[in-house]
Amino acid sequence: MSTKGNIMKTYGRFDVIFDKGAGCRLYDTNGREYMDLVSGVAVNCLGHSSPVIAKALEEQAKKIVHISNYFYNSNAIELSEKLCAHSDHDAVFFCNSGTEAMECAIKVGRKYGKVKGGETKSTIIHMENSFHGRTIGALSVTGQYKYQKDYMPLMGGVQSVKMNDLEDIKNKMNEDVCAVIIEPIQGEGGINSASAEYLQCVRDLCDEYDALLIFDEIQCGIGRTGSLFAYKKFNVVPDVIAMAKGLGGGFPIGAVMTNPRASVLQPGDHGSTFGGNPLACAVSLAVINELVEGGVLAGVEEKSSYFKAKLNKLKSKYQFITEVKGMGLLLGIALDIDVKAFSNKCFEHKLLVATAGKDVIRLLPPLNITTAEIDEAVELLEVVLEEVSKEVSEETKSGM
């Protein structure tokens, strides 16, 4: 079997095949061990080969996997009730991914505008540097031209603003706006957090102009910040929340939650063949229960403080680290060197990290990572930093 097979070349992949994992560790087909701080890009919140997920899969697969949305299933009902019980929302639509969740959220915003203001209330405001997915709709509200350029023309009726710039959004908000979409913490864009003041301003503007506030919590939600939903860290309640990734702990599932104000969809307005199937919902229920009742969520903030303290020590030692950023276990290390080359060097040392934006290394460990595993990861990170530091020093000397 070749490394690449016949898979489309839609990703820049590392030349490795992983075939098993446990917790924070992955093992390739040659038996080599890697420390994984990517977690499937914030997906594997309980780590690899979680016994909680394995049990849920096995038990549910023996009962029923799929029945279609012509009928109810108890797992979807229970999961919807659990998500709403931990939030300020009262209705859930299930789908299969984050991009699908964003498509649903966009449709909710557009229909809300039509119900409230007719044909002209259709503008959607989104943030510069944001990332919401790769379908045409999600790309249209993604604030990064590099993802959009080859697929234009995209969906019209969108307007970008600078995140955390109060005057910019105040100047662009009007009666034709039906929704504002924002990631409380931009993940792919570089671990950039919106300020609580900014989010409250946007909330107030949405209320003033009768528009929906939509939070994309696909990456920053489901415990990643230290609370089950990221919005609770900012004390600003959105009308709509899009989620996925950690919601299934590795099994594909997405969801959109709405409050009564945003509950505008009626039968026939939207759908998903596989959305809310019994198997996906059984896994998600097991994940949520482990995060909340199992105590995983309660330990995130303490682990975050521990990890950030370690990273800040490295920052004080290596001048090319310009900032340690992020919240919970959604962390970033800003570097003034080539982050892609740095990521590749980490891979050579069996440490898996992700890049974010132009200058950030993204760290997304499982939420149940231990302090001992954090220590091990930091040790590997320092080995790479030391090598890079020597290379930077040699380049500086040769350029003098």
Extract the residue ranges of the chain whose pLDDT is less than 50. none
Question: How high is the pLDDT of residue 396?
Answer: 66
Which residue type, as a one-letter code, is found at position 167? E
Q: Where in the chain is the domain with CATH 3.40.640.10?
A: 64-292
Starting from the edge strand earliest in sequence, which strands make up the sheet with 177-182, in order? 91-95, 254-258, 240-243, 212-216, 177-182, 123-127, 158-161
Domain 64-292: which topology? Aspartate Aminotransferase; domain 2 (3.40.640)
Q: How far apart are the first and last CA of the chain?
A: 49
Question: How high is the pLDDT of residue 391?
Answer: 83
pTM for this entry: 0.96
Question: How high is the pLDDT of residue 392?
Answer: 78
Q: Where in the chain is the domain with CATH 3.90.1150.10?
A: 18-49+296-399
Question: How high is the pLDDT of residue 4?
Answer: 78
Residues 377-397 pLDDT 10s: 999 999 999 999 888 777 766
- Rounded distance, CA 357 to CA 361, Å? 9
- Rounded distance, CA 86 to CA 79, Å? 11
- Rounded distance, CA 194 to CA 170, Å? 16
Question: How high is the pLDDT of residue 46?
Answer: 98
Give domain 18-49+296-399's CATH superfamily: Aspartate Aminotransferase, domain 1 (3.90.1150.10)
Residues 200-255 pLDDT 10s: 999 999 999 999 999 999 999 999 999 999 999 999 999 999 999 999 999 999 99
